[in-house]
Amino acid sequence: MSIAANKVPGVRASVVTDTFSAEATRLHNNANVLCLGERVTGVGLALKIVDIWLSTDFEGGRHQRRLEKVTEIENFK
């Protein structure tokens, strides 16, 4: 699902399987689509991941440069 979603300009989808990654994908990549595997993520963990992911803001700074590079690639024609 993340591979297909990331083909859409402006989408930054992340597969998340743990709470650390939930926070890191928001802090560092400003992910805006959360992908959870139903077969590998239990309900309790999924709820924790969603809570952390939704409550974490993008850090910006040095990470902003990476997102600008991604946007350049998206806009390349």
Q: What is the dihedral of CA 69, 75, 76, 77, to 10 degrees?
A: 180
H or E element at residue 6: none
Q: Are 63 and 31 in contact (CB under 8 A)?
A: no
Could you confirm whether 28 is annotated as catalytic? yes
Indicate which residue of 27, 28, 46, 58 is catalytic. Answer: 28
Residues identified as active-site: 28
